[in-house]
Each structure stands twice: as C-alpha cells, then as structure tokens.
C-alpha cells in the first residue's frame, strides 16, 4: 500500500475544521492590521536560500530538499522570508509607501528527523514589515502575533526576547565571546567547535547538555549578563521593551536567545508554550536589516516572524466541521439542484440526492447526514410553487411558499463574516 512520505501528513476534513478556523482568524487579524497577503513559489533557486538564510545554518547545511532540473538547482522552500524578500526586490516594492506589510500562509519543507512537533512538510504563517527601522515597528509585529494567539485562546505562552546587536557591533561581540570561550573550546560539541569559527553566536543555541553547562557557567554567564551591543542598539531595544510594557505584553529578556538564522539584527524573539514538550517554540522572528541588500535590493530595514501552524493548532481546542443546514428530498432532480443552488447563494449548506434514491430513502439519508432541516419538494409542492420544511430536531413540519422562504433566508456570505 502506498502511504504519504515519512514526515508528511494528510489533513482530512475532520482536522481541517480547526485549520480553517485558524486560517480565517489569522487572515482576518492580519488584514485588519493592514498586512496584505503574498504568495510566492514553493520552490526557488537554491542560491536564494544559501545567500538569504546563510550557509552556516542547519537549514542550508542539512535540511534542504534540493533538486536539479535542466541546468537549474532548485530547492523546496524551507522558510519564506527569503522568498518574500526576493519578490519584494523583483517587483520593485521599495517604491511603495513605507512600510510595506506582507503576510503569508503555506507549506515549508525541511529534511529533519520526524518527531512530535517536527515534520518534513509543515506549515508556517508569517508577516514581514519592510522599510522601517523603529522600535515601534518591532513592537507592532510582536503585538500582532500576541493578538492572534490571544484571540485563538492559546494558554501559557511566553515571549522571550533579546538584542543581538547590529552589523557594526556584532563582530566585536563575537570576538569577545570567542575569547571567553577559548579555554572551553576543546570541551564543546563538534557542532559548536565549528560554530566557534563560523558563527559563534549560534553556539548559545546549542541543545547539547555539555555545551549548555559551559554557557551557563559563571564566567560565561557573567559575560552575557552585560550588554555588549552599541549605544544605538541598546536604545532601540530599551524603547521596544517600554512599548511592550505599555501594551501589557509580558516578556523575558533571554540573553541566550540568538535564533538559527544569520540575517537577524538587533531584536530577536521567540514565543514558546509549556504544552509542547521538547519542540516548544510556536513562533520566532526578529529584525533583519541586512537581508534585502544581501539579496541584491536597496538597503532596506525589515522585521517579521513566522509561526509553526501544526504546533499552534495542537494548542487550539478542536473545532467541528460545520453541520449541514438543509437536505432537499425530491423526486425531480433538476428542481432539487436548482433550489439547492438558490439556497447556497444565501450562504447555507445544502445536500441533494445524486444517486436516484426514492423519497423515503432520501429522508433516511437526510437523517444520517444530520441535516438541520429537510426540504421536501414533491410533485404537489412543485405544482403550488411551495416547499415542505421539516425541522429534524423538533419533528415539526410546515408547507410554505417557496419564494417567501428564499427571501426569508438571510445569512451574510461567509466572506463578510470573516472580515
Ligand atoms: P526549532 O527550534 O523548533 O527547530 P526553528 O528555529 O528551526 O525552530 P523557525 O525557522 O524560526 O524554526 O520557524 C518558525 C516556526 O516554525 C518554529 O517556531 C516552529 O513552530 C515551526 N517549525 C520549524 N521547523 C518545523 C518542523 N520541522 N516541523 C514543524 N514545525 C516547524
Ligand atoms: Mg529547526
């Protein structure tokens, strides 16, 4: 038997009720904050991720699905910031009024060991805000994520935040960190020995117990306790923390938080849940002032985040698929289909018999489908331009004029409910 590839999951209708609830809520919250959706290809040139995510990251080194077609090297997107930045540059969006505020929803692909909270195809929702370098723009995207989580009723979330400095001050910091860690270098894990050379900040993100103990030791902890970023970075970060406090958002300044990607500058943050076990991060993001220029665009500051949809959805109470509003039982398929369409246009769900069952069996089918009401459209009703309405729960039945029934149906279309 064929089954879905390892690390991927089918999403069946039962589960999708919760997904749709999440997606509708996310879209409506992002649109109301004046973010607009962008959809970029699921695959891009491999070089985009090598340059945009960074070739010292786990994503680029170990996790990419890369393939060749013709003379092109392509990669299934492992994340979407690089793709959005590529599109921002390609379509000259820097000419739009600033800030440019974009969001996306969709699948990402990473070749990782599948486990709880980790798939090879998973989904992210994310926002990117281009063109501003202010602490208030950092605050606005964090607030947006927080608003989404609060609206979805997600309990026990924590916001961890840190300032990793800018391109001016970070090299100094990296060198000082190397100096502090030099005596421990040989005891670090193999990955951290490499990171020591290529990207020492990411050592602080190491999951190995041996390394964690070293980074928590007195000398290193004391060093990290002090702020090693420049005056401008410190001012930016302090202003951000003041705004978050004003907006009643609790945060923990975690000086070990660095995040995996190279392009972050100044603000980095992560939102974690105590209900997720080892893979506890729901959302990660930060400021990435260097990326647009790195990918060949004009020097443009930017800030954003991405959340893991599967992890988030596991924290939402399961939603149930919408129930069926009407079942039309009729001995005349054409009239039934036409009436079904008219009722659907009023915003209700309708099922009709498509298999040629007799009226009695159609009523049994309506019961099985748990239709809220059955519309009987028999020969007598058709001749009088009437319908018989049967409320299945109450067992009540009445015959009414068909046109008056249609005009009395008033549910706003689904799209306006969402906005
Ligand atoms: P982690 O520390 O969990 O590996 P990450 O730093 O690789 O996360 P990001 O690249 O920041 O993750 O992606 C943002 C979010 O996407 C994560 O917080 C997580 O919720 C989700 N995510 C990342 N990788 C996976 C995966 N393989 N399967 C499911 N969700 C994932
Ligand atoms: Mg990861």
Every domain of the chain and the residues it spans = 13-166+229-313, 173-228, 326-418
DSSP secondary structure string, 379-407? Answer: HHHHHHTEEEEEETTTTEEEEEEHHHHHH
Question: What CATH code is assigned to 326-418?
Answer: 3.40.50.800
| Stated pTM of the model | 0.92
| Protein fold of 13-166+229-313 | BirA Bifunctional Protein; domain 2 (3.30.930)
Q: Do 317 and 154 form a contact (C-beta atoms < 8 A)?
A: no
pLDDT per residue over 95-114, tens digit each?
Answer: 999 999 999 999 999 999 99
Ligand 2 center from residue 282 Cα (angstroms) = 12
CA distances from 226 to 200, 220, 223 (A): 17, 10, 6
If pLDDT is split at 50, 70 and 90, which confidence band does 412 have? low
CA pair distance 330, 353, nearest whole angstrom: 8
| Cα separation, 255 vs 59, whole angstroms | 23
The pLDDT tens digits of the residues spanning 139-196 come to: 999 999 999 999 999 989 999 999 999 988 988 889 999 999 999 999 999 989 988 9
Nearest-5° Cα angle at 53, 10 to 278: 55
- Find the Cα–Cα–Cα–Cα dihedral 377, 378, 383, 385, rounded to 10°: -10
pLDDT band (50, 70, 90) for residue 201: confident
Beta strands in 71-114 (DSSP E): 72-76, 100-109
Shared fold status for 13-166+229-313 and 326-418: no
- Mean pLDDT of the 296-315 span: 97
For 82, list phi and psi in degrees, rounded to 5: -60, -45
Quote the ligand 2 centre to 65 CA distance (angstroms).
Answer: 14
Instruction: Say if ligand 1 is within 6 A of residue 112 CB.
Output: yes
Distance 77 CA to ligand 1 centre (A): 13
Residue 102 β-bridge partners: 36, 128
Atom 19 of ligand 1, nearest CA residue: 308
CA-nearest of 279, 244, 22 to 125 is 22
Which of 145, 306, 307 most suits a substitution to test ligand 1, by most atoms within 8 Å of the C-beta? 306
Over residues 224-229, mean pLDDT: 89
User: Can you point out the beta strands (E) in 309-385?
Assistant: 326-330, 350-352, 373-377
* Separation between Cα atoms, residue 311 and residue 12, nearest integer Å: 17
- Ligand 1 centroid from CA 110, angstroms: 9
- Separation of first and last alpha carbons in the chain: 43
| d(C-alpha 56, C-alpha 260), whole Å | 9
């Amino acid at each position: 038997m064929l089954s879905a590839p390892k690390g991927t999951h089918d999403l069946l209708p039962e589960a999708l009720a919760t997904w749709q609830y999440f997606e509708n809520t996310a879209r409506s919250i992002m649109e109301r904050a004046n973010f607009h959706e962008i959809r970029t290809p699921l695959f891009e040139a491999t070089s985009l991720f090598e340059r945009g995510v960074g070739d010292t990251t786990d994503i680029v080194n170990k996790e990419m699905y890369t393939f060749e077609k013709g003379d092109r090297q392509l990669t299934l997107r492992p994340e979407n910031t690089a793709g959005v930045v590529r599109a921002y540059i390609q379509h000259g969006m820097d000419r739009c009024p600033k800030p440019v505020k974009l969001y996306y929803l969709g699948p990402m692909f990473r070749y990782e060991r599948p486990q709880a909270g980790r798939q090879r195809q998973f989904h992210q929702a994310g926002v990117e805000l281009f063109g501003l370098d202010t602490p208030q723009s950092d605050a606005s995207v964090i607030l947006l994520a927080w608003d989404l989580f609060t609206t979805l009723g997600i309990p026990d979330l924590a916001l961890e935040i840190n300032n990793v400095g800018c391109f001016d001050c970070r090299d100094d910091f990296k060198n000082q960190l190397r100096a502090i860690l030099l005596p421990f270098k040989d005891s670090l894990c193999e990955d951290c020995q490499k990171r020591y050379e290529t990207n020492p900040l990411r050592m602080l993100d190491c999951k190995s117990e041996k390394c964690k103990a070293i980074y928590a030791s007195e000398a290193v902890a004391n060093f990290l306790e002090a702020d090693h970023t420049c005056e401008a970075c410190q001012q930016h970060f302090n202003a951000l923390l003041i705004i978050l406090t004003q907006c009643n958002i609790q945060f923990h300044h975690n000086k070990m938080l660095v995040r995996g990607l190279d392009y972050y500058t100044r603000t980095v943050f992560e939102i974690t849940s105590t209900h997720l076990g080892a893979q506890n991060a729901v959302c990660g993001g930060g400021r990435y002032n260097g990326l647009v220029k790195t990918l060949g665009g004009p020097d443009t500051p930017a800030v954003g985040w991405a959340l893991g949809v599967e992890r988030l959805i596991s924290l939402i109470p399961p939603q149930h698929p919408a129930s069926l509003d009407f079942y039309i039982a009729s001995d005349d398929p054409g009239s039934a289909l036409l009436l079904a369409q008219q009722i659907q246009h009023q915003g209700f769900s309708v099922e009709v018999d498509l298999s040629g069952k007799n009226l009695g069996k159609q009523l049994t089918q309506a019961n099985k489908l748990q239709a809220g009401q059955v519309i009987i459209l028999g020969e007598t009703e058709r001749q009088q331009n009437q319908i018989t309405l049967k409320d299945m729960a109450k067992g009540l039945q009445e015959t009414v004029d068909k046109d008056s029934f249609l005009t009395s149906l008033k549910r706003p279309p689904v799209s306006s409910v969402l906005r």
